[in-house]
């Protein structure tokens, strides 16, 4: 009996996923897990035990959650950065790294007061503040329309570049009457929109700027002229601007798997900024510039992560044999967990690939 138990235990260890370390009783179950897990070098990974996690929230739970892996928790408490979750060589290295990793807010009070007075209005897109920016961030602040004021209408829009320069900022006059200015959060008053830029005019200027002379149908994610658009909840923002843009050029922090909750739901921008950048936003009146800066900083932090290079990093790339689909079951069952992991590819576009585009 004891011998059979030890044999079963040994088989289970041989059937341990090389990514998330989940154990299976049969090799066929491990193979099926690998078909649908899409483990890859792009997943957040524990710097101590090398466990792959679907998101940074999952990795945070592994390190410091209610039921962490104790060995990893002990080391992380001494040498781990609480913002980017990197493991450093020593407590002193951790202190220096964490001071650099924690960013500060963009002088929120002053920015908001200036915007409320109209001192930062820039109704023309500034093409000269940076040399043909490849990546820009966009954020809108919504006023309310409809009988109950619940319909989101763009009342203010801001675009910034990677260096946090303002390229475009203006109040926007919606095409239907505003019934709720939501002043407590937007800071927008009726007089701000009375002579504001018409929505169609703002839409046209932003569309032309994003496409950068490239027809919409011709936009491609690499080696094109169109700009990468960063934001939080961009579907809603683009809808409010009645603007369409190529999904291949959108980097949305609400839909990027490493920045989502363990439950695969979106995190708020307020939470992401506090957890990964180390400062608070949305205190009082909200400024679209503040949101642009926060989303661009999150994008930049994700973009410059160092992952092992792969010629064809996506499971959807035809060169990857469609993530095991072309393999026979018995061929896969003969592979080791490490070999199965090496075959596996990501099911999402990692933003680190923008650095090599």
Residue pLDDT, tens place only, 290-311: 999 999 999 999 999 988 877 6
Which pLDDT tens digit goes with each residue over 94-152? 999 999 999 988 754 445 444 444 434 566 666 555 457 899 999 999 999 999 999 99
Is residue 319 over pLDDT 80?
Answer: no
CA distance 352 to 311: 14
DSSP 35-48: HHH---TTS-B-TT
Which pLDDT tens digit goes with each residue over 171-207? 999 999 999 999 999 999 999 999 999 999 999 999 9
What angle (nearest 5°) sits at the alpha carbon of residue 74, between those of residues 342 and 102? 80
What angle (nearest 5°) sits at the alpha carbon of residue 172, between those of residues 167 and 175? 145
What does pLDDT average to over the chain? 88
% of the chain surpassing 70 pLDDT: 87
CA distance 354 to 339: 27
Helix, strand, coil percentages, rounded to 5, for the chain:
40, 15, 45
What's the pLDDT band for 8 if we cut at 50, 70, 90?
A: very low
CA 205 to each of CA 97, 168, 223: distance values in angstroms, whole numbers, following the listed order: 41, 10, 23
Quote the pLDDT of residue 1.
37
């Amino acid at each position: 009996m004891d011998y059979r138990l030890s044999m079963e235990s040994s088989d289970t260890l041989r059937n341990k996923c090389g990514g998330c370390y989940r154990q299976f009783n049969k090799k066929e179950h491990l193979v099926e897990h690998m078909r649908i897990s899409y483990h890859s070098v792009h997943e957040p990974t524990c710097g101590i035990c090398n466990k792959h996690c679907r998101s940074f929230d999952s990795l945070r739970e592994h390190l410091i959650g209610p039921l962490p892996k104790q060995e990893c928790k002990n080391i992380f408490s001494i040498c781990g950065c609480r913002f980017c979750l990197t493991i450093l060589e020593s407590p002193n290295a951790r202190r220096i790294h964490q001071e650099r990793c924690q960013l500060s807010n963009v002088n929120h009070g002053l920015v908001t007061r200036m915007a409320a007075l109209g001192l930062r209005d820039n109704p023309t897109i500034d093409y000269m503040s940076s040399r043909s920016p490849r990546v820009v961030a966009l954020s809108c602040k919504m006023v309310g329309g409809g009988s109950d004021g619940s319909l989101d209408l763009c009342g203010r829009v801001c675009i910034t570049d990677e260096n946090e320069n303002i390229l475009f900022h203006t109040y926007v006059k919606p095409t239907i009457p505003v019934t709720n200015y939501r002043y407590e959060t937007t800071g927008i008053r009726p007089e701000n929109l009375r002579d504001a830029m018409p929505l169609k005019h703002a839409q046209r200027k932003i569309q032309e700027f994003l496409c950068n002379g490239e027809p919409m149908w011709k936009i491609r994610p690499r080696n094109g002229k169109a700009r990468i658009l960063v934001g939080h909840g961009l579907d809603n923002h683009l809808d409010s601007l009645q603007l369409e843009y190529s999904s291949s050029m959108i980097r949305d922090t609400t839909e990027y798997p490493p920045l989502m909750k363990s439950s695969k739901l979106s995190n708020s921008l307020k939470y992401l900024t506090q957890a990964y950048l180390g400062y608070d936003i949305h205190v009082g009146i909200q400024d679209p510039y503040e949101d642009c800066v926060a989303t661009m900083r999150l994008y930049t932090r994700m973009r410059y992560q160092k992952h092992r290079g792969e010629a064809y990093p996506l499971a959807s790339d035809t060169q990857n044999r469609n993530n095991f689909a072309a393999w026979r079951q018995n061929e896969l069952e003969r592979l080791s967990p490490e070999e199965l992991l090496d075959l596996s590819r990501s099911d999402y576009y990692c933003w680190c690939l923008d650095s090599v585009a």
